[in-house]
Amino acid sequence: MTPPLFIAVSLPEPVTERLAGIGGGVPGARWVPRENMHITLRYLGELEGTLADDVCVGLTEIEATGFDLAIDGVDHFDGRKGAHVLFAGVQPREPLKRLHDKIEIQLQRIGVKAEERKYHPHVTLARLRRAPADRVGRFLEANGLLMSPPFQVESFGLYESIRSHEGPVYRELERFALQPGD
């Protein structure tokens, strides 16, 4: 078994600095460290046998063009007991969805089980545990219109998540270049 694996787009340092700079002020929030911020394209989890190698080979076969993205607002995902994740949205979503769909088709072709959830591109900022709704509301009100300048997405990567006492450490295993955009 491999450590948990995921496929993601990394973010430029000015974007992660800006996102890390808005963290705080919400009791019960576990903020994502700047170096762990990314846009997940597909979570794979632990893979058995040679499937991780097959995934790596399969990802090299994906043909997609680079594109521009920008951070566009802050929102939350609800759980059973209210807000459980704070995230930054991205725009435009379509290029990411197209890349996600190509990756999904390739993964299924090599035997990875299909993703059951609808893809919602975002950058996780914090995971919440019993966070007061009024504080979450204030955070969203203060940061809901957050925007970044556009940045170029020229590649995506395969990462492993290594557990540590300080929280997960993400290590890039392989980087896959996208074709130059228009």
**CATH code, domain with 104:** 3.90.1140.10
- Mean pLDDT of all residues in 138-147: 94
Q: Which residue is associated with the tokens 């929280």?
A: 167
Residue type at position 73? G
Is 24 part of a structural domain of the chain? yes
Helix (H, G, I), strand (E, B), or coil: what is residue 59? helix
Is 131 part of a structural domain of the chain? yes
Is 79 part of a structural domain of the chain? yes
Rounded Cα distance, 112 and 130, in Å: 35
- Percentage of the chain modeled with pLDDT above 70: 99
In this predicted structure, the answer to whether residue 89 has a pLDDT above a threshold of 90 is yes
Quick check: 83 and 131 in contact, CB under 8 A? yes
φ, ψ dihedrals at 27, nearest 5°: -60, 140
If one counts the domains in the chain, the total is 1
The 10s digit of each residue's pLDDT in 21-79 is: 999 999 999 999 999 999 999 999 999 888 999 999 999 999 999 999 999 999 999 87
Domain carrying residue 29 = 5-177
Is 50 part of a structural domain of the chain? yes
What pTM does this model have? 0.93
Is 62 part of a structural domain of the chain? yes
Work out the burial of residue 7: count CB atoms within 10 Å of its CB; fewer than 13 is exposed, 13-18 middle, 19 or more buried: buried
Is 182 part of a structural domain of the chain? no
Question: Helices 51-60 and 94-109 meet at what angle, rounded to 10?
Answer: 130
Is 39 part of a structural domain of the chain? yes
pLDDT band at 128 (very low <50, low <70, confident <90, very high): very high
